[in-house]
Amino acid sequence: MRGQPALLVLSGSTRGGSSNGRLAALMARELALRDADVRFLSFADYPLPLYDGDLEGARGVPESALKLAELMLASDGVFIASPEYNQSVTPLLKNTIDWLSRIRDDRYRSLWTGRVFAIGAASSGHFAGIRSLMHLRQILENALGARVLTQQVAIPYAEKAFDERGNLANDKAAAQLERVVAALLVEAGRFS
């Protein structure tokens, strides 16, 4: 037993000032305040080409995907902040998941099943990114067999959702975040 769970926090957006980047940063901070071993990373540091079976056949899985997979293997839980593009997940997030799912080495067999996932979204609209969360949950659970917490955080009107210190200004949204933090710590603790 390692003690506190090791958690990976990431955002499906690399855009500067991204609301989902802010949500992921807040999640990382809240988890760290509860003494979790948290690693907050950006997909910008792990560039991947658009998935292409011919490219995979010629060159294999890119090094950046293997590095991300190693970080996932070292974690007990993963939080993903998922922006919504056209009522679904971002191409960046989907492409990253697609590459990670192509790793066939037995060492990575538990990449999706050996940890718990939590999801959240922040959106400028009223629906709060919920449609991207539905698709992300479907990809993680149905396609990859991952355990995804039922608790999730969905922040509407994201441009007004955060105060100057990066906290959620709305009590209902803050309570959602707190429920996800608590559930992620408990469930990830089962893997640590």
**The domain containing residue 132 runs over which residues?**
6-189
For 161-189, the pLDDT digits (tens) are: 888 898 888 888 899 999 999 999 999 99
Query: Which residues have C-beta within 8 Å of that of residue 43, sequence separation ≥ 6?
Result: 10, 11, 12, 14, 92, 93, 96
Number of H helices, E strands in the chain: 6, 5
Query: Which residues have C-beta within 8 Å of that of residue 101, sequence separation ≥ 6?
Result: 112, 143, 144
For 7-62, the pLDDT digits (tens) are: 999 999 888 878 889 999 999 999 999 999 999 999 999 999 999 999 999 999 99
For 59-72, the pLDDT digits (tens) are: 999 999 999 999 99
Q: What is the CATH number of the domain that holds 122?
A: 3.40.50.360
- Residue 23: inside a domain, yes or no? yes
Q: Which of 31, 34, 47, 103 is nearest to 73 (CA)?
A: 103
- Residue 130: inside a domain, yes or no? yes
The chain-wide mean pLDDT, for the chain, equals 92
- Residue 1: inside a domain, yes or no? no
pLDDT, residue 2, reads: 55
- Residue 57: inside a domain, yes or no? yes
Q: Backbone dihedral region of 17: left (phi > 0), alpha (psi from -120 to 50 degrees) or beta?
A: left
What is this structure's pTM?
0.94
Domain count, the chain: 1
- Residue 129: inside a domain, yes or no? yes
